Structure 1
């Protein structure tokens, strides 16, 4: 989904390094942090949160200079899909995805049928976001969100997320000491921001808590519920890599431009092996060129748009789609 930070996969690949000078410049004053926390607690109390909730949530709150540095020093690298995909989806991850699919197959198929989402996409999202739950971030979510609000550049956004996090604490979905996430507050095995948690998280195992940290039923159902809510279709795939004719009008390459497969066929778009596109009248698609016409080109279906709602990065979508294809057609 749209997040305040890069996806975990991108962060792992690129790192978040800065020089010592840059780090010093990006630190914010700690002097006013305690006063800011006290002000937040008063606002939250006035908004109806219980004093016990605030005492629990802010008991160990800390200023994370690391979060500020990470936010301000997100590096820019020149990548192409051809160099990115082997890093985002190495062979070991593709094999592990198949193993995880088989390990949780019964649960995945049950959830997939209930929500209308093919299980391979649930596993692919899980793998790209958090390496199948093994990298969910170790930051205290309340501290991370409070820090980012105090830093001030996006105070309104992070205060809103903090308020949602307080609701999660108040509703006791996760013990506060286990409420860990990324430097920007993305949480659990789905890496939901607190607002997305409140809107899409599911208590699938029926224990009264929406546990996207430890309950596999809740994790998978929450991901499926998100996709269903943004228009997922279980009768089509995410997209396919295609060839374009030399005469292709590049101005048509946009998610805003939708045409039937027959219309793209007439414009010379073909499968990668040169054969015709599928003959289906019920599918509209867009041509997407993440790099340039010498790089990878995709015919993006409705589910491509849904994945873009999760994270507005063509590279992220391509990685999830590619991993889902590797699950469907293991080597």
Structure 2
């Protein structure tokens, strides 16, 4: 049974409710500029995918520990791949920077975090996901707007419906634009007359830079940097929105991680403490806010910012995360899965994605090895599995 909009739906109710909802949406779509012919042609065979409703309250940016989230998104593998993309698309990225004033490393970092450089667009048909979310669950008005915009994208010939697959929420393409964002900000950078985020890397990279420029990105600012707080620092002043001049933070005793002084001047910056006072600390500028606007999660913006720094040759954060069981890179997650398979657990291919079957297998092994049975893939269970494999 699935709880939707506060109610438990009996079998068959979702189909009946969906059919009724679609009749209502047909009239609303016409008001949004979708022709009845387009609506009928592309919705006649739609059926709801109720699984997407459950994802509304389980986005990884908000439910995954920050050290797990960062370890999986910014690892040696993604840094190496990102540097290859910087080299492969250097000419395009140079033209993108010249036009939009967003540096190549930042644009490529968004690409890497959003779709692993085009390897993972998401497999859910946008029309199915967005029609379902238009009829069930929270934020129906928002998703109806995205649903109608997707139909307009098809109606205007920007993309064929079968090419519009993506995330459960409707983001699609190399850099995972929502349909409404596509309509506002996507650009035709390769000059073929189409705005194509699925099959044109130049269009996707330029559209991403255009997004960041419109979000307030400034070429003369860093996104921020890691800092060290003095003892007994009053963390009540922390917060991305609570921006103060850099000189004020320096006066409070905040310094760079190498002990050096903060940059002089009046540049506004906010103090970000993603894991509280015991973890890494950052001063972040309006450029961090531009990254945040891409997905409205501070952990997400930090992943892009850090990946961009690593692509430029920067180091990992100096202050460790406040945990005794650090997160795993994707290579380490695949190793965990291979070790689970070797113990007889049927979890599918070792892809580095910790899904339901992997978590259930982890719980069983954790119980067998006397560890906390939370299904989490961290360094502790990896070491335990390695040791068990040797015995």
With normalisation by structure 1, the TM-score equals 0.86
Structure number with bigger Rg: 2
Q: What residue number does 2:218 align with? A: 233
Q: Identify the residue that residue 305 of structure 2 maps to in structure 1.
A: 321
Instruction: Give the secondary-structure state (helix, strand or coil) at the position aligned to 1:255.
Output: strand
2:140 maps to 1:155: yes
1:277 equivalent to 2:262? Answer yes
Q: Which of 38, 42, 49 is residue 27 of structure 2 equivalent to?
A: 42
Match of 1:79 in 2: 65
The structure 1 segments of at least 4 consecutive aligned residues displaced by more than 6 Å after TM superposition are 20-24
List alignment gaps of at least 5 residues for structure 1.
1-19
Do residues 303 (structure 1) and 269 (structure 2) align? no
> Is it true that 1:144 corresponds to 2:144 in the alignment?
no
Q: Which has the higher contact order (CA 8 A, sep 6+)?
A: 1
Tell me the distance in 2 between the aligned counterparts of 1:207 and 1:59. Answer: 31
Correspondence for 1:288 among 266, 272, 291: 272
Deviation at 1:78, TM superposition (A): 5.7
Query: 118-127 vs 233-242, which deviates more?
Result: 233-242
Deviation at residue 52 of structure 1 after TM alignment: 3.2
Query: 1:97 deviation in Å?
Result: 0.6
SS of match in other structure, 1:30: helix
Matching residue within 170, 184, 202 for 2:187 = 202
The secondary structure found in structure 1 opposite 2:199 is coil
1:118·1:234 contact (CA, 8 Å) conserved in 2? yes
* Alpha-carbon distance between aligned partners in 2 of 1:153 and 1:22, rounded to the nearest angstrom: 11
Distance 1:48 1:219 in 2: 25
Gaps of 5+ in 2: 316-391
Shift of residue 330 of structure 1? 6.5
Partner of 2:165: 180
TM-score between both structures, scaled by the size of structure 2: 0.74
Q: In the alignment, is residue 88 of structure 1 matched against residue 69 of structure 2?
A: no
2:150 to 156, 165, 179: 165
> Which of the numbers 108, 115, 120 marks the counterpart of 1:135?
120
Over aligned residue pairs, what C-alpha RMSD do you find?
Answer: 2.3
Q: Shift of the alpha carbon at 1:202? A: 1.0
In structure 1, C-alpha distance between the alignment counterparts of 2:297 and 2:63, rounded to whole Å: 14
Distance change in 2, residues 1:42/1:262 (3 Å): closer
Bigger mean CA offset, 54-63 vs 153-162? 54-63
C-alpha distance in 2 between matches for 1:46 and 1:287: 45
Aligned 1:8-23 pairs, distance under 5 A: none
The structural deviation recorded for 1:130 is: 0.9
Once residues 311 and 78 of structure 1 are traced to their aligned partners in structure 2, the CA distance between those partners, rounded to angstroms, is: 15
- Identify the residue that residue 227 of structure 2 maps to in structure 1: 242
